[in-house]
Amino acid sequence: MIYRRPFPGAATGSGGEIRDEAAVGRGSVTKGGLAGFWVSDLLIPDHKAPWENDIGRPAHYASSLDIMLEAPIGSARFNNEFGRPCLTGCFRTLLTPETCSEDAEAETSSWRGYHKPIMLAGGVGNVRPCNALKEERLVREGAHVIVLGGPAMLIGLGGGAASSNASGESNADLDFDSVQRGNPEMERRAQMVINTCTALGDQNPIAMIHDVGAGGLSNALPELVKDAGYGGNFELRQVESADRSMSPLQIWCNEAQERYVLLINPENMNRFSSICRRERCGFSDVGCVATRDTRGDAKLILTDRESREYPRPIDLPMDALFPPKKQQERDVSSKKPKLLPFDALCSLQSTLGGDMDNATLFKKAVERVFSMPAVGSKSFLITIGDRTVGGLTARDQFVGPWQIPVADVAVTAASFSIGGKQRTGEAMAMGEKPTLALINPGASARMAVAESLMNLGAADVMGDLRRVKLSANWMAAVNHPGEGAALYEAVEAIGMEMCPELAVSIPVGKDSTSMKTVWKDKGAVKSVTAPVSVAISAFAVVEDILSTWTPQLARVEDVGESILLFVDLAEGRRAMGGSALAQSLGATGDEAPDVNNFSLITDYFDALSQLHKSGVVLAYHDRSDGGLVTTIAEMMFAGRCGVDMMMDGISKSGGIGDMLEALFNEELGAVFQVKASDEMNFKRCFATCGPPAGLIRKFGVVKASSNQSLTIRHSAAVFATLGRAEMQQWWSKTSYQMQRLRDNPACADAEYAVVSDSSDPGLCYRLTFSPAENILPITSSIAGFFGKTPRVAVLREQGVNGYAELAFAFRAAGFEPVDVHMTDVLGGRSLADFTGLAAPGGFSYGDVLGAGQGWARSVLMHESTRREFEQFFRRPDTFALGVCNGCQFLTRIRQLIPGTEHWPTFVHNESAQFEARYSMVTVRQDESRPSVFFHGMNGSSLPVVVSHGEGRARFSSPNAMQELSDAGMVPVRYVDNRLDVTERYPYNPNGSPGGVAGVSSRDGRFVAMMPHPERTIVAGVSSFMPRDAAEQWGEYGPWVRIFKSARRWVG
C-alpha cells in the first residue's frame, strides 16, 4: 500500500507480480517486468507547476512527492535484487476539480486524482510446455503440502481487505498493520528452487504450485488443494514462524511475502528437499491432501497441537469455502459530468496573457506540455532499475547513442541459443489514457488498447493481431456517483466490442474498485476520486528482435536524404479533451480522442508486418501524450538532429488556433522515417493491406546534425523554430528536479548539463579487433571433440542472480561452465577440476553487510573453504573473473589471490544511488604483458553495461591507485563520449577515481570488474549498437572477445 509506506508497498507489489508469474502451471521463469505510477500533483518544493493544486491529504498518508521519491526505489530495488529487468512502464499525475457535482461546496472539496495512487506491476515470462498446466491427474492422495520460502511474520495482516476499502473508511492502525515488507533475496532463493525443479522437465517434482498473496495461507492452502480436486489436512504449528508468540489467526492469515505453496508427491520429497537445502531455501511440510472431492465430501481441517482449547480451529467442508460462483449484480446509474469545451488558443491567452505573439504562445505551450510528468523524461525512474540482468534484453527504454528514454516497446530475446537466423523473442508494451475517462470512459479504454498495440507494433510481432494477448488492470471508485456505470461502459467498450472485433483476447487482469480518498481538513470533508483507470499491457512473440524500430532518427550523414511520413489513424479528427495541453492549462475539455474505426487498427497492424519485412523504416514513434509535436521532438532527442515540418496537409488554415490543435491533439497516429528513395516502397506496403493512402502524409525532412532545430512551416511560411537543446531541457526538467531531490544534487546537475551539449558524439564503438574474428586455437576444437573442454566454475552464493548470462558467455567461448553453489564448496566440493572460476553479479546476502562482504566472509571464515580457494588461485594454470558483485567478492578476498595487494574495495556510488546505464570504457592493456582476458583489445573503446550501487573504487592509500596504474593493472577505465578517461558523472557512473572500472592481478590471470561484459554477448542484445552492426559482428557482440581471449590463453 504505497500511499501508507511507499517503499515497502511498491517493493511487495513487484514481488507479488513476480510470484504470480513463477506460479504458472507447475512453475515458470519470469523474464522481464514493467512498472507504472499514477499519483496526484507532485508539488516539488520551489518548483510547483502552474497547473498543480495543493489541497492537502490525510495525516497518515504519504504525499505524491514522497511516493515518487520512495516507491520507485522500492519497486526497482526488489527487481534488482531478485534479478528481473524492468523494461517499460508509465508515470502520470492528475488532480483536477470535480466537474459533476451539483452544489458549490462540493465543487471546492471534491477532486479527481490519485491521492490513492496506482502502482502497476507486470511482466513476461517463459514456461516449458510440460509445466504449463495445473493438472489434477498429477496429484495423488497423500501428496505433501509444502510452504516454500520465508517464515510467517506479523506483517501484512489484513492487507488484502484493507486495500479494498475506500481510503478513510479503515482506521490508521489497520492501515499500518496491513503494510507488507519485501525480501527479494529470499524470493530469489525460492525461484532458484522452482527453476531447478522445472529444469527437470517431465521429472519436475512439483505437482502443483500456488503463490501466497492476499489472505496469506488462509487463502493459498485451500485454493491449492481445491485446484487439485482434494481436501486437505494441515497442522498450524508446522508452519515455520519467525515469531513464536504469534496467535493462530496471525499465523494463518498474515501476508508475509516470498512464499509459495506446493504439492509434492511422496516419492519426490527427497529430491525436492535436497534442492531446497542446496539453495538454502526454507520450507515447511504442513500437511497433506486428503479425500478426493468426488461427491462434495472433501474437508479442510486445520489442527493446532499446541492448543488445548481449540485443537482443531478449522473443520469445514470444501463446499463451504468454495460455493458455486454466482454472477455479481450491481445497480448503478450514469452521471454525466458537466464539461466545458476546451479552446486551446483562448485558454493559452487567458492563462499566459493575450499580448504575446503567436510564436511565443506556441513556445510557452510546448514548455508547459514537456514539463508534464506523463510527457517528459522518465529517466529518474529508469536508471535506478537493472534493465540487463539475465542477458536477454534486446530493447529497453533507452534509445540510441545518447540513451534517451523514448522506446515504444520492450523486447527480450527468446534464449541464449539464438544466433544466425534464429532471432525470436518476446515483446511487451503499455497503453493507458485515464484522463480521457473524465470525459468518456469508453473512449479511455479503447484508446488504451489502441495505444498498447501502436507501441507493440514497433517490434516485429509474429503473425497478426490474434497472436497478441492483453492484460487489463481496472481501477475505479465504483461507489462514487456515476463511476459504477462508467466502469461498465469502459469494460463493455473493449471487452465486448473492440477486442472481439480485433480478435484480441484479454485472458488476465486485476482490479481495484475503491479508488477514493476521504478525509476531514479543519472540519471540512474533502475527497479525491480517481477516474475509471484502465492500464493495458500487450504481449506478443517477436519474429526478429533485430527488426525492432526505435524513435531514433537516422542522421543525414549516415543514411542520406530522408523524409517523415505521418499515418493519421484518426482520419482527421483532432479532439483536444483530456490532452496534456488541456491539463497543463487547468482544463479538461468535452470531447475525447477515440477509436472510431476498428478495421483501421487491424489494417495498420498488417501493414506494420509488411514494413518490418521490407526493411525500409528507419525510425518509428506513435502519437500519444503531448501530441505530434512531442512525437517529433522525442525522435529529434534520440537522433540529435533537426527536423523541418511542413504542416500544410495536417493543419487546415495554418492559424495559431488550428496549429495548436494539429500539433497537440493526442488522437491515434504514428510517424515513420524512411529514405526519400523508399517513399513509394513504404506506400506500397500500406496499399497492400493498410489504411487508405489518403491517411498517409509526407510532412517532414530530417536536417543535417549540425542544425539541431525544429522548424515548423505552413504554406512555406515559418510558424515557429525551436532548438533541440532547449526543448530537451524542458522535457528533462521534471525528471532532473526529482533526481536532484532524491540523489546527490551535484550528480543530477552534471547530467542535466549534458542535455545542452550539442556536440556530444554519444556512445560509439572504436574497436581494434573484429568481433567476428576467431582467435581460438585449433586445439580447442580438438579438445572439445575428445571431451576435454576446460571447465569453469560459475560460483553462486545466495542472492547472486547474474549466473546464467556469465555461464553462457563462457560457453560461447568454448568452455564448459558448471554451476557451483557455495553450499557445495562449504560441503567439501573441490575446485581442483576447474581451470577457471567466474563470480557473477547480484546481491549476495542482499548486500546487507556491504556489497560482496557476506560472500567473502563465507570463504575467509571457513578454514577448509578458505584453503580450497587459496589453492585454486595459486595454481599457475587457473584464471578467475569477477563481475559486479563477483568483483566486490574477489576484491574482499584479495589476500588469497597472488599479485592483488593493491586492489581497491568498491563502495557506494558518488550519486548515492543504484546506477544502471550503458557507459563507455576503454581497454588499456600493455601488449608486452601477458593478457588472459584482453588479447588484441588494447586501445578499444566501447559501451558496456553497468548496474550497481557500490561501484566506486576506494584504495587503501593515496599511492595504491598510482602503483596499480604504473603496474598496468587497470585494464578497463570509464571514458566520456569523447573517449577521455573521466571521473565526471554520468559518463563515470560511480565516481571511481581515475575512471577505474576493473583491475587485474600482476600476471593478468585474475580480473575484477564492475561493468557487465557478459550481458551483451548475444548479437542484438544491446541498448545501442550501430545500424547493421549485428550482421557485421556475426552471432556474438564485441564483449565475447574477453571470454574467447581466456579460452585462447588456456590453449
Q: CB under 8 Å to 962, separation ≥6 — which residues?
A: none
Q: Residue 104: its pLDDT value, please?
A: 40
Can you say how many angstroms the Cα of residue 106 is from the centroid of all Cα atoms in its chain?
Answer: 40
Alpha-carbon distance 567 to 670, whole Å? 5
818-847 core/surface letters (b: 16 or more CB in 10 A; e: else): bebbbbbbeeebebeebbbbbbbbbbbbbb
Alpha-carbon distance 193 to 187, whole Å? 10
CATH class of domain segment(s) 129-319: alpha beta
Classify burial at 957, counting beta carbons within 10 Å of its beta carbon; exposed 0-12, middle 13-18, buried 19 or more: exposed
Average pLDDT over residues 123-149: 95
Q: How confident is the model at residue 257 (pLDDT cuts 50, 70, 90)?
A: confident
Q: Which helix (H) or strand (E) holds 33?
A: strand 29-39
Q: Residue 173: its pLDDT value, please?
A: 53
Q: How confident is the model at residue 190 (pLDDT cuts 50, 70, 90)?
A: very high
State the cell numbers at 690.
Answer: 493498410
Average pLDDT over residues 922-940: 88
- pTM greater than 0.85: yes
Q: What is the tens place of the pLDDT at every residue in 326-375?
A: 888 889 899 888 899 999 999 999 998 878 889 999 999 999 999 999 99
Res 781 pLDDT > 80: no
Average pLDDT over residues 716-733: 97
Average pLDDT over residues 67-92: 97
Quote the percentage of the chain above a pLDDT of 70: 95
Asked if 194 and 85 touch (Cβ cutoff 8 Å), the reply is no
Residue type, 40: S
Res 704 pLDDT > 50: yes
Average pLDDT, the chain: 93
Which candidate, 99, 100, 235, 220, places its Cα nearest to that of 156? 220
Q: Residue 880: its pLDDT value, please?
A: 98
Average pLDDT over residues 398-425: 88
Res 747 pLDDT > 80: yes
Average pLDDT over residues 807-830: 97
Q: What is the tens place of the pLDDT at every residue in 573-602?
A: 999 999 999 999 999 999 999 999 999 999
Alpha-carbon distance 177 to 415, whole Å? 42
Res 852 pLDDT > 70: yes
State the cell numbers at 986.
Answer: 554520468
Whether the domain at 129-319 and the domain at 778-1050 fall into the same CATH topology: no
Average pLDDT over residues 187-202: 97
Alpha-carbon distance 210 to 230, whole Å? 15
Res 419 pLDDT > 60: no
Q: How confident is the model at residue 101 (pLDDT cuts 50, 70, 90)?
A: very low
Question: Does residue 418 sit in helix, strand or coil?
Answer: coil
Alpha-carbon distance 621 to 629, whole Å? 12
**Residues assigned a catalytic role:** 884, 1012, 1014
Alpha-carbon distance 195 to 383, whole Å? 28
Can you say how many angstroms the Cα of residue 548 is from the centroid of all Cα atoms in its chain?
Answer: 18
Res 103 pLDDT > 80: no
Alpha-carbon distance 339 to 591, whole Å? 9
Strand spans (E) along 676-746: 696-702, 709-714, 717-723
Strand spans (E) along 893-971: 905-907, 915-923, 941-948, 952-954
Res 105 pLDDT > 50: no
Res 78 pLDDT > 70: yes
Q: Residue 102: its pLDDT value, please?
A: 45
DSSP state of 776: S
Classify burial at 138, counting beta carbons within 10 Å of its beta carbon; exposed 0-12, middle 13-18, buried 19 or more: middle
Which candidate, 635, 624, 619, places its Cα nearest to that of 727? 635
Q: What is the tens place of the pLDDT at every residue in 625-681?
A: 999 999 999 999 999 999 999 999 999 899 999 999 999 999 999 999 999 999 999
State the cell numbers at 286.
Answer: 504442513
* DSSP collapsed to 3 states, 340-353: CCCCHHHHHHHHHC
Can you say how many angstroms the Cα of residue 685 is from the centroid of all Cα atoms in its chain?
Answer: 33
Q: What share of the chain is helix, strand, coil (3-state, %, to 5)?
A: 35, 25, 40
Question: Does residue 942 sit in helix, strand or coil?
Answer: strand
Q: Residue 990: its pLDDT value, please?
A: 98
Alpha-carbon distance 487 to 466, whole Å? 26
Strand spans (E) along 406-496: 410-413, 425-432, 469-475
Q: Residue 1015: its pLDDT value, please?
A: 97
Average pLDDT over residues 248-257: 92
Res 249 pLDDT > 60: yes
Residue type, 422: Q
Which range is least confidently modeled, 2-11, 665-674, 1016-1025?
Answer: 2-11
Residue-wise DSSP of 353-368: -TTS-HHHHHHHHHHH
The residue ranges of every structural domain in the chain are 129-319, 778-1050
State the cell numbers at 549.
Answer: 524500430
Q: How confident is the model at residue 783 (pLDDT cuts 50, 70, 90)?
A: low
Q: Residue 864: its pLDDT value, please?
A: 96
Res 902 pLDDT > 80: yes
- 803 versus 324: which is more confidently predicted? 803
Q: Residue 74: its pLDDT value, please?
A: 95
Q: Residue 253: its pLDDT value, please?
A: 94
Res 237 pLDDT > 90: yes
Can you name the residues that pair with 122 across neighbouring β-strands? Answer: 34
Largest CA distance in the chain: 91
Q: Residue 8: its pLDDT value, please?
A: 83
Average pLDDT over residues 264-283: 97
Instruction: Answer whether the bond into residue 986 is a cis peptide, omega within 30°.
Output: yes
Alpha-carbon distance 523 to 476, whole Å? 27
Phi, psi of 410 (to 5 degrees): -105, 140
Q: How confident is the model at residue 893 (pLDDT cuts 50, 70, 90)?
A: very high
Q: Counting runs of H as helices and runs of E as strands, what totals does the chain give?
A: 33, 40
Q: Residue 154: its pLDDT value, please?
A: 86
Q: Which CATH architecture has domain 778-1050?
A: 3-Layer(aba) Sandwich (3.40)
DSSP state of 493: I
Res 382 pLDDT > 90: yes
Res 287 pLDDT > 50: yes
Q: How confident is the model at residue 160 (pLDDT cuts 50, 70, 90)?
A: low
Work out the end-to-end distance of the chain between its first and last CA atoms, rounded to an integer number of angstroms: 57
Q: Residue 224: its pLDDT value, please?
A: 96
Asked if 461 and 542 touch (Cβ cutoff 8 Å), the reply is yes
Average pLDDT over residues 1015-1028: 88
Q: Given the DSSP bridges, would you call strands 95-97 and 86-93 parallel, antiparallel or unpaired?
A: unpaired
Q: How confident is the model at residue 571 (pLDDT cuts 50, 70, 90)?
A: very high
Quote the percentage of the chain above a pLDDT of 90: 83
Which candidate, 589, 636, 280, places its Cα nearest to that of 440? 589
Q: Given the DSSP bridges, would you call strands 425-432 and 643-646 parallel, antiparallel or unpaired?
A: unpaired
Phi, psi of 1036 (to 5 degrees): -125, 155
State the cell numbers at 259.
Answer: 512464499
Res 147 pLDDT > 90: yes
